[in-house]
Amino acid sequence: MILSRRIPRVRIDDSKRLTPRQRERAYQAILEHARVGVGIIHAARIDTDNIRQATLRAMEQAVVHLAPCPDVVLVDGRDVPPVPMPCWPVIHGDQISYPIACASIIAKVTRDSLMAFYHRLFPEYRFDEHKGYGTPAHLEALRLHGPSPLHRMSFRPLALLSS
């Protein structure tokens, strides 16, 4: 994301600290005031590469989709993606960095929207309710229906079910 200034009249914070309504308002405002790139990695690639490598690849995709290229990339956490500009890792960045908090909102709302779409394809998993997190309802759906094509086979509860 390329952000030139603070976004007026909307709360920006770590996406986990916002209500769904606050996240949606912030998401719309960020799209109006920033250039946004998103990277998405398929579950099979995550299983092949591992979650860490897939996350770095998604970050790389997000940066590549930005125009113009940013001068520097701020990253939430310790690891940085393989991109041609300087990267600054910021531990707990979504809690202490305004641009990283904006990126966390974009990521969360994008993911939740994908989960709502996937719910329409596979309603038996109730992705609209648990958003793919390992809740008791999600684990029960996996026990009843087995994995969908969207599930990561490396997801620990799923790996335990199949062993």
The answer to whether residue 73 sits within a structural domain is yes
141 shares a domain with 109: no
102 shares a domain with 78: yes
Q: Does residue 68 have a cis bond before it (omega within 30 degrees)?
A: yes
User: Which ranges constitute the DSSP H helices of the chain?
Assistant: 20-33, 43-49, 51-64, 93-96, 98-121, 127-130, 136-145, 156-161
- Residue 134: predicted pLDDT: 87
Q: List, as own/partner pairs, every contact residues 49-52 make where C-beta atoms lie below 8 angstroms and the sequence separation is at least 24, other chains included.
A: 50/154, 51/152, 51/154, 52/79
Cα-based distances in Å from 46 to 6, 30, 50, 88: 34, 28, 5, 24
Domain of residue 156 covers 124-163
- Residue 40: predicted pLDDT: 96
State the average pLDDT over residues 83-99: 96
| Candidate from 5-14, 27-36, 92-101, 153-162 with smallest mean pLDDT | 153-162
- 41 and 57 Cβ atoms separated by less than 8 Å: yes
The answer to whether residue 130 sits within a structural domain is yes
What is this structure's pTM?
0.91
- 146 and 125 Cβ atoms separated by less than 8 Å: no
The answer to whether residue 4 sits within a structural domain is no
70 shares a domain with 40: yes
DSSP 3: E
- Residue 163: predicted pLDDT: 58
Q: How many CA atoms lie within 13 A of 131 on its CB side?
A: 8
User: Angle 44-52-149 (CA atoms, 0-180°, nearest 5)?
Assistant: 20
Give the percent of the chain with pLDDT over 70. Answer: 98
- Residue 162: predicted pLDDT: 62
Task: Tell me the pLDDT tens digit for each residue of 59-78.
Answer: 999 999 898 999 999 999 99
Which residues make Cβ contacts (< 8 Å) with residue 95, sequence separation at least 6?
A: 13, 14, 17, 101
